[in-house]
Structure 1
Amino acid sequence: MAPPRILLCGDVLGRLNQLVKRVQSVNKSAGPFDALFCVGQFFPDSPDRLDEFMEYVEGRAQIPLPTYFTGDYGVGAAKVLLAASRNSGNLGFKMDGFKVSENLFWLKGSGKFTLHGLSIVYLSGRQSSEAQQFGTYSQDDVDALRALAEEPGIVDLFLTYPFCLFHE
């Protein structure tokens, strides 16, 4: 069995047309790839990019391969993610992502899951001492991640942005 092929990218800033075009080009020339992971700010940084972004969220445009993101802040983030978290398919304890739309998954808080045989650990958002539903992680998320790190086994991908340092 061939190892999985994964693409990684940084800040998307809501530019999903540009992202999809680039992914299709790379997939055609060097693919096929099994998944895309986006770290950094996934949502638009200004309201003028929200219409393009919503085309994908509402299913009028398609993301070509399973795409997972951790940057749950920016323009429109709260509205989109609140709707996703209320979707009946996303109820319950989820480590492998809340489905936002076809091929688009939000990695909330912190967690660990397996995808195509790879062990993936993530910390989503920016650090904040204030309890917010979207865009931040809390000390509880860091503590949960630390507990996951103490479990036996190998972590193949560790996703976080900007970066996380564990302090004792």
Structure 2
Amino acid sequence: MGQPPPMISNSPPVSFSIPLMAPPRILLTGDPLGHLNQLFKRVSSVNKSTGPFDAVLCVGQFFPESSEHLEELTEYVEGRKNIPLPTYFIGDYGAGAAKVLSAAAKESGNQGFKMDGLKIRDNLYWLKGSGKFTLHGLSVAYLSGRRSPSGLIYGTYTQDDIDALRALAEEPGIIDIFLTYPSYLFHSILFLIVTWVMSLYHKVSFP
């Protein structure tokens, strides 16, 4: 006996769609110099008009140049004012820096080897020394502070920080963003970062 004819279904073909992960959207900013009202007002405006964005990276001096702007800084550090997006900074020097950072370093949640930022408060993180971490799929490396022979605890990096960064650079994988000081080096690197990152469809904006 011959084989029966194959059954033909009248049901429409089933299609499957795999959702694609949206590319990260990061805001980059230069020296806030303690003018956090201005910084976060601008961040909120940009995030509302062209966002949403995932995080803010601050390069350059984060803290005020003088004690006149300490009240503005304190309002954010103590949580009296809102920080709209997770914000990471490397410029750990200026008026009030030692007090704020020493208090943060003593917090139990900031103990141990933390390269993804010491938490100052919700949405505010200090990138201390040198390190590398993943931020929304981007590999971010950093060297915090300025080179100084004075041996200051805050606001400077050491030879150990440089050696640790060199070791991280030898690990397999690509570093997407490198944050450091001084300003002339930052601007040179930033131009290359923006060109390269935007070619990979990462959204980079400047508040």
Is this a same-fold pair by TM over 0.5?
A: yes
1:118-137 superposed Cα distances (whole Å, 9 cap, x missing partner): 10000000002233221000
> Corresponding residue for 2:25?
5
> Corresponding residue for 1:145?
165
1:149 offset after TM fit, Å? Answer: 0.9
Question: Which structure would you say has the larger Rg?
Answer: 2
Measure, in 2, the Cα distance between the counterparts of 1:102 and 1:112.
21
1:61-116 superposed Cα distances (whole Å, 9 cap, x missing partner): 01100000000000000000000000111111100000001100000000000111
1:15-69 superposed Cα distances (whole Å, 9 cap, x missing partner): 0000011001110111000000001000001111000010000000011000000
Structure 2 residue identity aligned to 1:130: S
Q: Percent identity?
A: 73
| Counterpart selection for 1:36 from 41, 56, 66 | 56
Gapped regions of structure 1 (runs ≥ 5): none
> Map of 1:148-163 to 2, 5 A cutoff?
148-162=168-182, 163=185
> Corresponding residue for 1:102?
122
> Corresponding residue for 2:156?
136
> Corresponding residue for 2:84?
64
Measure, in 2, the Cα distance between the counterparts of 1:116 and 1:20.
21
> Corresponding residue for 2:13?
none
Root mean square deviation of aligned Cα: 1.0
Measure, in 2, the Cα distance between the counterparts of 1:74 and 1:16.
14
**Greater shift after overlay, 131-140 or 72-81?**
131-140
Measure, in 2, the Cα distance between the counterparts of 1:56 and 1:25.
18
Q: Is the 8 A contact 1:67 1:104 kept in 2?
A: yes
Number of positions where the alignment pairs a residue of Structure 1 with one of Structure 2: 164
Structure 2 residue identity aligned to 1:142: I
Gapped regions of structure 2 (runs ≥ 5): 1-20, 187-207
The reply on whether 1:122 has 2:128 as its aligned counterpart is: no
Q: After the TM superposition, which segments of 4 or more aligned residues of structure 1 sit over 6 Å from their partners?
A: none
> Corresponding residue for 1:27?
47
